Amino acid sequence: MMKHVLIIDESPLFREYLRLKLEESGIEVSIGIQALDGVTKMKNLVPDLIIMDSSLSRMGYIEVLKETKTSPNTINIPVILMTQRIDQKQLLELVSYNVKKVFTKPVKIDALFTTLSELLGVALKIDESPGIVEVHVNDNIIFIELAQGWNRDKLDLLHFKIIELIKLYEILLPKVIVMLSDMKLGYGDVTNLEKLLLIITRASKAKHKFIKILTMDDFAHKFINGHESYGDIKVVSNLHDAIDELLTELNPDMIHGEKRAEIIGDKVLSADNMVEEEAMQLKFNADSHKITKESIKESVQDMRIATVDDDFVIRELIKNSFEGTGAEVKTFSDGEDFLSVADTEDFDLVFLDLIMPKKDGFAVLDYLRGKDTKYPVIVLSSVTERDTVIRAFNMGIKSYLIKPLKPQDIFKKSMEILKPGF
């Protein structure tokens, strides 16, 4: 008999990716797009398993779990819960609701599918090949990094992640930099390389001239340049050049310095072939998806956030942005101040200025890396400090914000970092 799984999650990224993978394995999938919808479908369909995210609006996940106990048909349905963080008291509370497994985000795909196989009694197909795929948006450029090999399941997830980030950042003219880190390619990689390029072009809908492939690999360079479909995509060997080329191609008259901020900031850019009416409609639709303090409450509730910056105004701006969300924000005036508590306090997110007196942001990053501390870090930089951002990238930092900051920028970047399904 076909197994039936109900996914209750407000993130299209997680829902659609998981639905795709489960249906490939012959499992029927229903979607609850929010808590009330999930409860209704649970009672009507009585699935074999519920996969639920803890960040639900209008009705909390505990209320959903309580609903499972109101009917003998649903009381024994096993539940997998996804959450940003959970304490021992909450874990004990979940036992009575038949929660079989709790995954903290970002979720390891192989561990998730192992649990699904055990609970459903179905062998699920999963690519166990090594491979890291990370996606972030900086300066309205989509940065995609692949390392350690190809994992086709993660490439499938990339499609949904690109779409989600374009929506989150309201990007009208997508620009993409693909970083193939330490990957030596050959003819055996052609299928995966073509799959990658197809996913990026379809999901982003970026013009080929706005896609840069950053790699030192000669095979990748020759293959892409000689490909009839992707020959207009440029392969580069320097991240600084890749960023500068994208910004220059958007507006050749722009020069380094403050004028460049017009592109890096909030300016809405329209595609060459976009008529005024289409641009107005897109902007109107984007306005309806503004990220507000209220909309991020579920994601940042009970989180501990550190702000490390020698600028009092920046510290207070970030602190005030999260006021009333349930998050605790601790401020530090320099890196030395922050490192004095780094070994004794845990943080879910760190905003880190790069240029500070005493110990700067790079000293902080060096220390955290030496301790193998895995704080999600968002570095802060001014538009004229491009080289410092490149240096941070080389130290493993993938997300940054350009000053001056606005609450909307802070919310979007926080959502990008804190709400990944995987």
Q: Where are the domains positioned within the chain?
A: 4-120, 132-287, 294-418
CB-side neighbour CA atoms (13 Å) of 374: 3
Asked whether 260 and 383 are in contact (CB, 8 A), the reply is: yes
Asked whether 335 and 361 are in contact (CB, 8 A), the reply is: yes
CATH label, 4-120, candidates 3.40.50.2300, 3.30.300.30, 1.20.1250.20, 1.10.3720.10: 3.40.50.2300
Q: Report d(CA 140, CA 177) in Å as an integer.
A: 11
Q: How confident is the model at residue 383 (pLDDT cuts 50, 70, 90)?
A: low
pLDDT for the residue numbered 294: 77
Percent of the chain with pLDDT over 90: 52
Asked whether 306 and 342 are in contact (CB, 8 A), the reply is: no
pLDDT for the residue numbered 126: 80
Q: Which of 197-206, 224-233, 282-291, 323-332 has the lowest mean pLDDT?
A: 282-291
The mean pLDDT value for 134-163 works out to 91
pLDDT for the residue numbered 140: 87
Q: Write the pLDDT tens digit of every residue in 23-55.
A: 989 999 999 998 999 999 999 999 999 999 988
Q: Write the pLDDT tens digit of every residue in 346-368.
A: 898 999 999 998 899 999 999 99
329: three-class secondary structure by DSSP: strand
The mean pLDDT value for 108-120 works out to 89
Q: Report d(CA 118, CA 110) in Å as an integer.
A: 12
Token digits of residue 268: 């809405």
**Highest mean pLDDT range out of 154-158, 318-322, 371-375, 388-392?**
318-322
Q: How confident is the model at residue 322 (pLDDT cuts 50, 70, 90)?
A: very high
- Whether 132-287 and 4-120 are alike in CATH topology: the answer is no
Q: Is the domain 132-287 a CATH 3.40.50.970 member?
A: no
Q: Write the pLDDT tens digit of every residue in 174-219.
A: 999 999 988 899 999 999 999 999 999 999 999 999 999 999 999 9
The mean pLDDT value for 141-164 works out to 91
pLDDT for the residue numbered 420: 59
Q: Taking the CB of residue 220, how many other CB atoms lie within 10 A of it?
A: 21
pTM value is: 0.79
Q: Residue 148 above 80 pLDDT?
A: yes
pLDDT for the residue numbered 251: 54
Asked whether 176 and 144 are in contact (CB, 8 A), the reply is: yes
pLDDT for the residue numbered 384: 62
374: three-class secondary structure by DSSP: coil
Asked whether 99 and 49 are in contact (CB, 8 A), the reply is: no
Q: Residue 277 above 50 pLDDT?
A: no
Beta strands, E only, 355-413:
377-382, 400-403
Q: How confident is the model at residue 272 (pLDDT cuts 50, 70, 90)?
A: very low
Question: Regarding the domain delimited by 294-418, which CATH topology (the fold level of the hierarchy) does it fall under?
Answer: Rossmann fold (3.40.50)
